[in-house]
Amino acid sequence: MSEINIIDLTTLFIYFAILLIVGFVKGRGKRQDSGSFFVAKASLPWWVIAAAFVATGMNTEQLVGQNGMAYKIGLPLLNWYFIVFIVYSMLIFVFLPVYLRNGIVTMPEYLGRRFNSVCQNVFTVILLLSYVFMNLAVVFYGGAKLLEVVFGLNIWTGVILIGVVAGLYTMYGGMSSAAYAAVFQFALIFLSGFYLLYLAYQKLPNGWSDVIASAPCGFHMMRPMDYPEIPWHAVPLTILGIHLYYSCANQALVQGCFGAKREWDARIGLIVAGFFVVLRPFVEIFPGLFCRAIAVVDPSFNLGDQPVDNVLPIMIRQLVPIGLQGFILIGILASVMSTIAAFLNSISTLFTLNVYKSWINRNATEKQLVWVGTIATFILMIFSILYSPMIGYLSGGIFIYFQTLASYITVPLATVFLIGVLWKRATSTAALTVLTAGIPLGLFVANNLVPGLFEDETIRRYSLRNPFITGAMTQVLCVILMIVVSFFSRPNPVEEVRPLTFSLDKLRLPADEPKRPFYQRVGFLWSIFVLFYVAIYIYLW
């Protein structure tokens, strides 16, 4: 444990001060109008959307959790990044045009208009609970864990400090504060991450060769079916489940696109974000691989019986000179703060527009909505802060905690969105059935169906107890359930459903968008984006 050096402490203080200034300046004047406060309507250019999308997606489940898992299992984790070209493409061409052209502000609002208000309300409750106990709790705990291991700061103190700063500028300025602060965080994340890798590289006698030699699975992304953590078949089987939900129906990520100046800005912002995703493993995976390689020549980097979540803090503590640890830490905390801000703003938006305005006060004024959003942010943030230290008592670390919960929660949600946007015949009754039965169905598949149907050897050979595999099984059952119930229930009128479902005309930008040169066109840049990731897969398969 390091002493809290005055230089590091000053660096942290300056970082928090700049963050608050950026948040308050960009949020000034946004509290008079709920549209400006919650989604920064028609104001965000493509580069802000891109930076916010990348920074929001980088949280402690990745930075702390995945660096720990990378130390343990290595490159198979890269699959979680490189399949983005599929789910981002679905967001760009299928989901986003539907959301933007119907003026959607929240994900529950989409389900309310596509199906009915009951689906909207059920989804709102599920989202709020998952954000508090899964997303925010993980991010708070991971950020506090860094402060604890590096500086010896009590876990409760760290959680409260992070929560107060992120909460202040988000509660004041809403989406605009969160988005522009994320641009500042975006730069810090990569600057500090690459500096940490540079320091780690200096410790290796043979450089990159040592990393390749010590990688747990060799330098390949795909592992056999009996590999317990991420077998190869888990990769395609999760695309339409957890990954589709996370990128296409996750309020915290997608909400930034709702504030785009034009649909072109939203689409291009996502493509640019997709290119930057390839840099994320250098911050979220390779430090764990470097730590394992350094441990061969320096036992102080050996994790031993410590929790896997300690890998990144160990790297900072052991490699970074006193006086510069604050700089590295603010880069890591930047991802924490940007994610917290996005989720707090999403919670504020969801509660205010889908709970307060829908259930409590339909005639609320603009100022009332903003104040309710502010209060909701504060109260739900307190719940997350109080719960987050409990994660430290659970086995498996942040990554296992988050991914296991996500496999139960996101699969039915992803199924409802996917079928709802692609199939006009899908009914409100079917959607509600999957929303309410999906999570219990997932628990039944994992705990009863798999052990009841298969022998232990078969379960081991095909990793059938892996949460990603059981999640895929659950999704198959959810799809069947939604189709069957749809055929036995009455659909909404076609004229109501058509604008809220995908059609080929939505592949193109709206007719009122300005014509642009070929190198700025969505199709051209998207083609380069896809070829780029296909080439990576061919190389690292």
The pLDDT tens digits for 439-464 are 999 999 999 999 999 999 999 999 99
Tokens of residue 300, six digits:
């102080």
With vertex at residue 309, the alpha carbon angle to CA 305 and CA 314, rounded to the nearest 5 degrees, is 80
Number of residues in the chain: 541
- Residue 59: the pLDDT is 67
pLDDT for residue 435 is more than 50 = yes
Q: What is the mean pLDDT of the chain?
A: 83
DSSP string, 168-231: HHHHHHHHHHHHHHHHHHHHHHHHHHHHHHHHHHHT-TTTHHHHHHH-BTBS-S---TT-SSS-
Residue 416 class from Cβ within 10 Å (0-12 exposed, 13-18 middle, 19+ buried)?
Answer: buried
Q: What confidence score (pLDDT) does residue 177 get?
A: 47
Q: For the segment 150-184, what is each residue's pLDDT rounded down to a tens digit?
A: 777 777 887 887 777 666 655 554 444 455 555 66
Q: What angle do the packed helices 155-202 and 137-151 form, to 10 degrees?
A: 70
The pLDDT assigned to 236 comes to 93
- pTM assigned to the model: 0.83
Token pair for residue 529?
């984006």
Tokens for 395? 């086995």
List phi, psi (to 5°) of 188.
-65, -40
Residue 32, pLDDT above cutoff 50: no
pLDDT of 1 strictly over 50 = no
pLDDT-derived band at 30, boundaries 50, 70, 90: very low
- More confident call, 292 vs 325: 292
Residue 504: pLDDT band (50, 70, 90) is very high
Quick count: other Cβ atoms within 10 Å of Cβ 511? 6
Percent above pLDDT 70 for the chain: 85
Q: What are phi and psi of 76, to 5 degrees?
A: -50, -25
Asked if residue 524 has pLDDT above 80, the reply is yes
- Which range is least confidently modeled, 63-67, 342-346, 384-388? 342-346
Q: Report how far apart the first and last C-alpha atoms of the chain are (Å, whole number).
A: 39
The amino acid at 399: F
* pLDDT score, position 496: 92
pLDDT band per the 50, 70, 90 thresholds, residue 185: low
Q: Is the pLDDT of residue 519 over 50?
A: yes
What integer pLDDT is reported at residue 310 of this predicted model? 84
pLDDT at 17: 73
Residue 44 DSSP symbol = B
Torsion of CA 380, 386, 388, 390, to 10 degrees: -140
Query: What is each CA distance from 422 to 68, 116, 383, 414, 501, in whole angstroms?
Result: 38, 17, 37, 12, 6
pLDDT value, residue 180? 56
Please tell me the predicted confidence (pLDDT) of residue 132: 79
pLDDT tens-digit readout, 203-258:
999 988 999 888 887 778 888 999 988 899 999 999 999 999 989 998 878 887 88
Average pLDDT over residues 93-103: 95
Write out the two tokens for 109: 């609002």
pLDDT for position 290? 93
What's the CA gap between 35 and 10, in Å, rounded?
A: 37
Q: Is the pLDDT of residue 341 over 70?
A: no
Please indicate whether residue 248 or residue 379 has the higher confidence score (pLDDT): 248
Token pair for 337: 């703060």
β-sheet bridge partners, residue 44: 260
Percentages helix, strand, coil for the chain (3-state, rounded to 5) are 80, 0, 20
pLDDT digits over 398-429, tens only? 777 777 888 899 999 999 999 999 999 999 99
Lowest mean pLDDT among 39-43, 115-119, 230-234, 309-313: 39-43
